[in-house]
Amino acid sequence: MAEFCRLDKLLPWKKSSIRVKVYRRRETEDSEGNPAMDFILADKYGKKIHATVSHQYFHRFKRDLPEDQWREITNVHVSDQNWNHPTHMLARHQYMITLDGPIGVRPIASLRDSHMFDFTDFNQVITRVVDAAYPIDLTGVVGYIGKLQPTELDNEEKTCIPFHLKDHRNQEIYCVAYGQLAPDFNIQRRSFTQADTVICVLSEWRVTFHNGEVLVTGEGGLARIFINPWIEERDVMRHRFLHPDVEEPQDNNSVAGSSSAVIC
């Protein structure tokens, strides 16, 4: 019987077996234009690791590793080589997984009913303590929302929508949604007014710097926006924002793992 390893205990160049959730995945291309795929896998402890598959096994793992499903994966190849640019990592794990032929995949029941967010404090972003090479999760109250507009990103014309996110200390971060995230967020904004306290979660977004200013950006792919998600942090954030001088409630009955609206 296989012995299953926690993701934070994986060692490079050693075959291992893991039980993980396919947290996120995206289709991409290799250097020759062939189809490839990136995955973010997460174990029940919330640790995440980047996994990649080449075009040779693309169709197999696209079928066997659907997003949001738990899988038992055996004979995993762990590598200390990261194929992404060092300033644009997909997970904080020091190693990565290469998905290839000898790997076995089997569906399993969910081991954790949670979004597995790992929230970054606003102050770490504002003071630039956070490492911009890695994606972050951020939660706050939606403030100003700009207009849906065209822009140029990476020499491509894309749609964007700027908005502000505030924490309970009233610190603001300027955010920009690009690509398909932008029109989807623009549709969601119509469901609330300026008087509403709308909690927003940004998952797998990026800290960038433009003209000396700190921005948090997301452009689809692995990035998502959750509006008023049913997680404990939502109720804590709303309580802090509406009652900054009142002690936080000890009891919380929110249901982790579901959300009222998700944009991805």
* H or E segment to which residue 154 belongs: none
Q: Taking the model in full, what pTM does it have? A: 0.84
Q: Which residues pair with 70 in a beta bridge?
A: 21
What are the residue ranges spanned by the domains of the chain?
7-107, 122-263
Residue pLDDT, tens place only, 224-253 = 999 988 877 666 766 676 666 665 555 443
CATH 2.40.50.140 for domain 7-107: yes
**Token pair for 234:** 């939502």
pLDDT at residue 206 tops 70: yes
Break the chain down into helix, strand, coil percent, rounded to 5.
15, 45, 45
The confidence score (pLDDT) of residue 259 equals 45
Residue pLDDT, tens place only, 184-200 = 999 988 888 766 788 89
CATH placement of domain 122-263: 2.40.50.140
CA distances from 8 to 68, 96, 118, 209 (A): 20, 11, 15, 30
Helices (H), the chain: 58-64, 122-126, 181-189, 232-242
Q: Please classify residue 9 by burial: count the beta carbons closer than 10 Å to its beta carbon, then call 0-12 exposed, 13-18 middle and 19+ buried.
A: exposed
Whether the domain at 7-107 and the domain at 122-263 fall into the same CATH topology: yes
The more confidently predicted of residues 240 and 125 is 125
